[in-house]
Amino acid sequence: MSLSLMLFSLSENRYVPAHVTPHTIDLAALEDISNVSSPELVGFWSSPPRIKICQGVNVKKSRIEKAVRFWEHLGYEFGEVYFDDGEWGSPRGCVPYPGEIAFRIAPQGMSFQAPDGSTYMALTRMQTIVGTYELISAEIFVQYVANYEKERMVEHEIGHALGWLHNDSSYHIMHPLWPRGGHRISGVHKTDYDVFSTLLIAQE
């Protein structure tokens, strides 16, 4: 694929309003609404993100660390994985600090309903700096605790939190439909990430 083709498809699929500062990107996990044919980035981390597990999120640290290792094998780096002990008690609850990916409890009223009537297993929301596409923080909301035990689910969500969109090739880790996904990793190595990050910056 030539660089211009990649640039074209990047701008074609850009749906994030650029006037919000910093802007928030909501990505639904494992949904049925994507026709993205190659993985693309909406943002990137310029330094390794820490991963916070918020109070009340009933998941073992080892499950999250397993998903982190999946991405580390592809060349990505992360800070520590830690449990938020609630010490700082923000009135907004457990939110990610800059430089963090947080696994949070979904707030009351958060909808996991897809437009086609299917249900999202999880939602990932990111904040980026306008203009640079640098990720500030990311939040992952999982609808049910049982979903954490679904194979590949945490790995897929961390993929979004890194900035990746969907890939509709069969058995891909970023496939939008859980039953059709798998452990394929074409196009989402750290070397791909670095290329797409450069393209994101260049298109400004």
Binding site for Zn ion (CB under 5 A): 29
81, two tokens: 């994985």
Least distance (Å) between residue 2 CB and Zn ion: 27
Helix (H, G, I), strand (E, B) or coil at 81: strand
Q: Which is nearer to Zn ion, 161 or 200 (CB)?
A: 161
Nearer to Zn ion, 78 or 120 (CB): 120
Q: How many angstroms separate the CA atoms of 81 and 70, rounded?
A: 14
User: What is the nearest approach in angstroms of Zn ion to the Cβ of residue 144?
Assistant: 16
> Which of 36, 130 has the CB closer to Zn ion?
36
| Shortest reach from residue 59's CB to Zn ion, in Å | 18
Closest CA to 117 of 181, 36, 35, 32: 32
- Distance (Å) of CA 83 to CA 57, 59, 107, 157, 192: 9, 10, 19, 18, 31
Across the strands, what pairs with 128?
A: 23, 135
Give the other-Cβ count within 10 Å of 120's Cβ: 23
Residue 201 Cβ vs Zn ion, minimum distance, rounded to whole Å: 24
Two tokens, residue 144: 């049910």
- Tell me how far, at minimum, the Cβ of 143 lies from Zn ion, in Å: 13
Q: Identify which of residues 44 and 84 has a Cβ nearer to Zn ion in the complex.
A: 44
Between 84 and 112, name the residue whose CB sits nearer to Zn ion. Answer: 112
Q: How far is the CB of 55 from Zn ion (least distance, A)?
A: 25
Beta carbon nearer to Zn ion, 29 or 42: 29
Q: Which residue is nearest to Zn ion (CB)?
A: 29
Kindly provide the residue ranges of all beta strands, DSSP E only, lying in the chain, ordered along the sequence: 23-28, 50-53, 81-83, 100-104, 122-128, 135-142
Q: Which residue in this structure is represented by tokens 């009933």? A: 58
Question: Which residues make beta-bridge pairs with 24?
Answer: 127
Structure tokens at 43: 């943002």
The Cα–Cα gap between 124 and 11 comes to: 21
